[in-house]
Structure 1
Amino acid sequence: MSAQSLAYVELYVGDSPAVQDYFMTAMGFTRVAESVTDRQTSSLLRQGEVDLVVTSGPATTQFLNEHGDGVADIALSCDDVPATSDAARAAGADVTVVDGQPVVSGFGAVRHTLVPADFGRWPANRVRTRQPGAPTESGRHVRLLDHVAICVAGGSLQKVVDFYGAGLGLTPFSSEYVDVGGQAMDSVVVRSASGGVTFTLVAPDLARNSGQLDAFLERNGGPGVQHLAFLVDDILSAVAQFRERGVTFLSTPRSYYDMLGERFPEMASEIGALRAANVLADRDEWGYLLQLFSRSPHDRNTLFYELIQRRGSRGFGSRNIRALYEAVERDRLVAE
């Protein structure tokens, strides 16, 4: 009775054509299905094992007024939907049934639709008005959704971790405390036993100065999905192509790469290319990982995206967590 994999992620957006163009033109997703009703219009975008549902219309108005563009639903496939629904309710979630599917309250305004393992990769309550088309193979880099980063209010992190463990079977995988200047954050990674669902939960330390997570919570009107991390096989190629197509990525200080050469002399031949692309590198006991954040393409500067390549690594890299935090903080200060 637990979550097994990410079925789809649904975004509520104000300008659906612009958001779809971002994913399709810049990131290589393909629109494979659509649904139109008097309350909402939904489009299913697919690349690799990632399904994104982009929804707009009157049904999204309240969410957009309170939070702006963002993730409204992280649908989870489960080994036993009724038992998982009961466990979530016992853990404190509100559970409703929409067109036969249990919908569980998560964090903030974000919910989880629970679907069976043989779910057909399209919301059950949407009637297709367009049948799936053949995905475009050229320039496709995204394989799957590596993890979802979730920002919650300071002081609530352990409560959220406990809920996901008891209610959905996601148990702690790692934790990290990042202290940067006068501000700090706590983070806990929770993961399903199957490995198919990974949430990175982050919260500001209320005892320290206000920083990027506090700013996110204010702009987002409370807890929400901070970023979606897309797994790719070749991050340098993906970054080059996405950047050429209009994705803006965060920058990294030149000094980072000087230190990288000292930390990983075995990567000496690659550091020039990493520096040119602003890609970060780290390693854990299993291997290496390479990462880079985009700047948010959304009006409220909330939700953004990450590219991540894993060379054996199963974690997130302690030094990279700090470096990524600092990159977002620099970008926030420049924007202000």
Structure 2
Amino acid sequence: MAVCARRLCHIAFHVPPGHLLGRDLQRLFGFQPLAAREADGWRQLALRSGDAVLLVNEGAGPREPLYGLDPCHAVPSAANLCFEVPDVGEAARALAARGCAVQVPPVDVRDARGAATYAVVRSPVARLSLTLLEQRADARGPFLPGFEPVSSAPGPGWVSHVDHLTLACTPGSTPALMRWFQHHLGFCHLPLSPGEDPEVGLEVSAGPGLGGLRLTALQAPPGCTVPTLVFAESLPRSTTGDQDQVEQFLARHGGPGLQHVGLYTPSIVEAAEGVVAAGGRLLTPPDAYYQQPGKERQILDAGHQPHLLARQGILLDGDRDQFLLQVFTKSLFAEDTFFLELIQRQGATGFGQGNIRALWQSVQEQAVRDQKA
């Protein structure tokens, strides 16, 4: 049987010494510092907003960072996903029996606040490792054993939990990656369109010859609180032009990896305004996006004001009964790779497929206008 991943415990990042990611997550996005650890050449800081926990591993040392692995990667990146499992030893043996490389065998960690056991395994995405965690029921610390609590003022609460994780993949690799997560961790196909073939996924075309995206999603088994995994790869195109977002990530990141994390917010307008006021940078779609025929009526029918959404670059996909709102940050790293998404759902279960088409179309229309100006 596949290993049961009960929940996502945290997402770990690897950054060089002196990087400001930890500060930015707190100041710009409202995450609250939980606990910290400094040892073996590493400075590790855990931050939380609602149920979303991010762990920043800063530096490099002779030993691996606690609960993770040094990816030895040239650029900063989201390097590890940590999942809670019922029994780490059993899970590590089961994955090894299925051919999965166990990079860090089970390790016991104990302090005055509790005990935990973890192991690290290699995922099918070269730049991303997976930590399997078993924490004792009597643990009392704010994060994990081995970390010291950090006192801080309460955060603004813009984010309640992780909605989804999107992996940027090379063309044609998605089916094999999906089978790995299904076979090893028990994920199952989540159709993004009626009758979707999991080997094909949802193709979001930008237009004849313009390429587009292929999106395929997996969900955890019932009873598990693991975010949806979304696999994104570029569609072939016959025209030349700028790289799309997936192609750009692959080139600048040096291969596949976690491209962005979708963070759920109960009020995206409030969250976006707070991020901008704090100095955060959001991507702004071209004006043509909001000028599409029917877009103003679509936004009004959903109970929102077009000018408020346009002011922060918030996108809307769906109708008055089922829709989602989303806005994307600019990259958190100078390499222009990983970014965050704020997402608010009103009954919608997709990932803004209509927005992908509309954005591509609006970018093209804006380019035509600029040429005529």
**TM > 0.5 between the two?**
yes
Other-structure match for 1:252: 285
One-letter amino acid of the structure 1 residue matched with residue 22 of structure 2: Q
Q: Which has the higher contact order (CA 8 A, sep 6+)?
A: 1
Moved more, 56-65 or 302-311: 56-65
2:301 pairs with 1:294? no
**Judging changes above 3 Å, is the alpha-carbon distance between structure 1 residues 298 and 327 closer, same or farther for their aligned structure 2 residues?**
farther
Q: How does 1:71-110 map to 2 (within 5 A)?
A: 71-82=78-89, 84-96=91-103, 97-100=105-108, 101-106=118-123, 107-110=125-128
Matches of 2:315 and 2:80, distance apart in 1:
30
Matches of 1:214 and 1:308, distance apart in 2:
23
Does the 8 Å CA contact 1:92/1:163 hold for their aligned counterparts?
no
Identity %: 24
Matches of 1:160 and 1:9, distance apart in 2:
19
Other-structure match for 2:230: 200
The structure number with the bigger radius of gyration is 2
Runs of at least 5 residues in structure 2 that lack an aligned partner in the other structure: 109-117, 192-200, 366-373
Which secondary structure does the structure 1 equivalent of 2:330 belong to? coil
Aligned residues: 326
- Taking structure 1 as the reference length, what is the TM-score of the superposition? 0.86
Other-structure match for 1:270: 305
Deviations 1:173-213 (A, max 9, x none): 12421222522321111110235231111122356565332
Shift of 1:152: 1.6
Other-structure match for 2:6: 4
Shift of 1:17: 5.3
> Out of 259, 274, 280, which is 1:241 matched to?
274
- Taking structure 2 as the reference length, what is the TM-score of the superposition? 0.78
**Judging changes above 3 Å, is the alpha-carbon distance between structure 1 residues 200 and 314 closer, same or farther for their aligned structure 2 residues?**
same
Deviations 1:137-187 (A, max 9, x none): 4x2211011111111221211000110111111111124212225223211
Does the 8 Å CA contact 1:10/1:73 hold for their aligned counterparts?
yes
Shift of 1:321: 3.5
Q: How does 1:105-254 map to 2 (within 5 A)?
A: 105-106=122-123, 107-116=125-134, 122=143, 127-128=146-147, 130-133=148-151, 136-137=154-155, 139-174=156-191, 175-181=201-207, 182-193=210-221, 194-206=224-236, 211-254=244-287
Does the 8 Å CA contact 1:16/1:54 hold for their aligned counterparts?
no
Which secondary structure does the structure 2 equivalent of 1:155 belong to? coil
Does the 8 Å CA contact 1:150/1:200 hold for their aligned counterparts?
yes
Matches of 2:168 and 2:161, distance apart in 1:
21
Moved more, 320-329 or 71-80: 320-329
Does the 8 Å CA contact 2:33/2:46 hold for their aligned counterparts?
yes
Deviations 1:208-239 (A, max 9, x none): 56533222111111111101111111100110
Does the 8 Å CA contact 2:288/2:362 hold for their aligned counterparts?
no
Shift of 1:284: 7.3
Other-structure match for 2:195: none
Does the 8 Å CA contact 1:45/1:52 hold for their aligned counterparts?
yes
Matches of 1:133 and 1:324, distance apart in 2:
42
Matches of 1:325 and 1:2, distance apart in 2:
39
Does the 8 Å CA contact 2:60/2:70 hold for their aligned counterparts?
no
**Judging changes above 3 Å, is the alpha-carbon distance between structure 1 residues 169 and 221 closer, same or farther for their aligned structure 2 residues?**
same
Root-mean-square deviation (CA), in Å? 3.0
Other-structure match for 1:58: 60
Matches of 2:90 and 2:218, distance apart in 1:
20
Matches of 2:313 and 2:356, distance apart in 1:
15
Query: Which structure: greater helix fraction?
Result: 1
Runs of at least 5 residues in structure 1 that lack an aligned partner in the other structure: 331-336
Shift of 1:291: 0.2
Matches of 2:361 and 2:72, distance apart in 1:
29
Does the 8 Å CA contact 2:50/2:161 hold for their aligned counterparts?
yes
